[in-house]
Amino acid sequence: MKDKVSGKEFAWYLAGATISVFGIILMIFGIIGHHLNVSAENNFIKVAEKALMDGIKIPFDFRIWGILIFLLGIAVVVIALVVNAKKTDREVDKQLRRQQRQAALKDNTIEVKSAVEIIEEPAPQVEAAPANEAK
C-alpha cells in the first residue's frame, strides 16, 4: 500500500477542495442576499448578482453558480482519486509480481508444470486405393 501522498496528488486535492469551498461560499452569499431585509439598492449581494448576470449574459444567481462551481470542485477531486488509485494499483501489482519472481528464483525446488497435457496419438493409417485397371 501507498503510505505517502505525492505533491502532485496533494495539489489536485487542494485545488478541488478550494474550488468546492468557493462554490459553497457563493451559495451562502446567494442565500444571504436573497433573505437580507434591506432595499434592493442597498443589498450589495443582489447588486453584485445583477452585475454578474448583466456582464456574462447568463441569468444564474449566486446560488446556481455556487452549485455549479461546487460540482466542478467535486469532479476535480474524484478524477484525482481515480487516477491516483489506478496508479497505486499498478504499483502494488508490479511489486507483488516482483516478489513472486524473487521467491521463485530463491526456491529452486519449485517446478513449473504445464496445465495442458500433451497426448501423442498415432497418426491414422490411410490405405491406398487400388489403381483403376485398364479396361
Average pLDDT, consecutive stretches of 10 residues, N- to C-terminus, the chain (135 residues): 80 96 96 88 89 90 94 96 89 85 71 60 72 60
What pLDDT, on a 0 to 100 scale, did the predictor assign at position 131?
Answer: 65
What pLDDT, on a 0 to 100 scale, did the predictor assign at position 109?
Answer: 55
Residue pair 58/15 in contact by the 8 Å Cβ criterion = no
| pTM as predicted | 0.66
Residue pair 23/72 in contact by the 8 Å Cβ criterion = yes
What pLDDT, on a 0 to 100 scale, did the predictor assign at position 27?
Answer: 95
What pLDDT, on a 0 to 100 scale, did the predictor assign at position 101?
Answer: 83
Ranges of each domain in the chain = 7-106
79 backbone dihedrals φ, ψ, rounded to 5°: -65, -40
What pLDDT, on a 0 to 100 scale, did the predictor assign at position 87?
Answer: 87
